[in-house]
Amino acid sequence: MERDIQFIGQSGAFLDSVERASKAAPLGRPVLVIGERGTGKELIAERLHKLSRRWQEPLITLNCAALPESLIEAELFGHEAGAFTGATRARAGRFEEADKGTLFLDELATLSMGAQERLLRAVEYGEVTRIGSSRPIRVDVRIVAATNEDLPRLADEGKFRADLLDRLSFEVITLPPLRAREGDVHVLADYFGRRMATELRWEAWPGFEESALKALDEHLWPGNVRELRNVVERAVYRWDDWDRPIGHITFDPFESPWKPAAPAHRGAEDASQRSPAHSGADAAPQPALGLVTDLKQAVDAHERAILEHHLGKHRFNQRQTAMALGLTYDQLRHAMKKHGLMDKAAS
């Protein structure tokens, strides 16, 4: 599980989580990593391993949600030849492969109750038994498990073994979502943007327009850092003028006037749940109306936001922007002059 993504961020919530992982790493005890998708649970698992005394031993990963229930126990604990249909030869499981090292169990909450019972025995007694065998095998494995589920709630509902939860929760590291990491959106956007510009062999990194940075700030980031990386890299590669700061952000790559229409009963529901900050490529950023003092100020702020959005979308080409907004060329230039945007666009 080698990765080229570093821990990037400066918010207190993020740094506290990284520090907790660093402190727990040398102890060799089980650790639960909790967080939404895209928050970096795999990176925390890798940090726990690399800063432990097991760093030279294997780090074995198993995504518990990627395998059908009928195969998950065989993957974890191995099997003997003939143990089930298709088992033509004996095979060691992930526990044996991770002996003396770390076993990272991603999507832990998807494990069946049967697999949870066998996992509990492996954690409790340090031994596993291959399917089709009666001889236990001693293993020395540190467990790091990750999930985006509320495990205590699942235990209360009888969907997750409470005794297994007790054994695995020596330390629990809960990763903050990106929307709670104050200031980190700009730091991460700059990091991913510079890296993509280097990949594209740009001669310089122009940064982002203020309107683009504002749009990044206002987005809710349900996919967290993974989503931010995709959004930023897409914006950079679609921008073909590195002399100008990037001025257009597309949050939803599926947004298109030609995309298949949703069923009627879903369309209204989706529209009601979609916020202006992530409603697609053609949605202009909305001004923070709570900060304005009168109607004229609110109208001016909204008008400027629309102009900045469409100028960025059309790479500051005034004629294309005027056509998109249904204005004449002179009307657009008058509006740009009014809002101090004349120095940003090319004719």
CATH number of 12-176: 3.40.50.300
pLDDT score at 275: 43
Please tell me the distance from the alpha carbon of residue 146 to that of residue 159, in angstroms, as a whole number. Answer: 16
pLDDT for 279 equals 40
Query: What is the predicted pLDDT for the residue at 344?
Result: 59
Looking at residue 227, its pLDDT comes to: 96
**How far from chain centre, in Å, is Cα 145?**
17
The one-character DSSP state at 346 is B
* Domains of the chain, residue spans: 12-176, 180-262, 284-347
Helical spans, DSSP H, in the chain: 12-24, 41-50, 69-77, 94-97, 113-125, 151-156, 162-168, 184-199, 210-218, 224-238, 264-273, 295-313, 318-325, 329-338
What pTM, to 2 d.p., does this model score? 0.73
Query: Please, what is the end-to-end C-alpha distance for the chain in angstroms?
Result: 50
For the chain, list residues with pLDDT below 50: 1-5, 268-269, 271-282, 288-292, 347
Give me the CATH code for the 284-347 domain, please: 1.10.10
Residue 82's pLDDT is 76
The alpha carbon of residue 252 and the mean position of all alpha carbons in its chain are separated, in whole angstroms, by 15
Structure-token pair, residue 166: 């007790």
- Kindly give the interhelix angle for 113-125 and 69-77, rounded to the nearest 10 degrees: 10
Mean pLDDT, the chain, rounded, equals: 86
8 Å CB contact between 223 and 38:
yes
Q: Which two tokens stand for residue 327?
A: 């204005």
Per-residue pLDDT at 106: 97
What local confidence, expressed as pLDDT, does residue 1 receive? 43
Q: Could you confirm whether domain 180-262 is CATH 1.10.8.60?
A: yes
Q: Which amino acid is at 16?
A: D
Q: Which amino acid, one-letter code, is at 312?
A: G
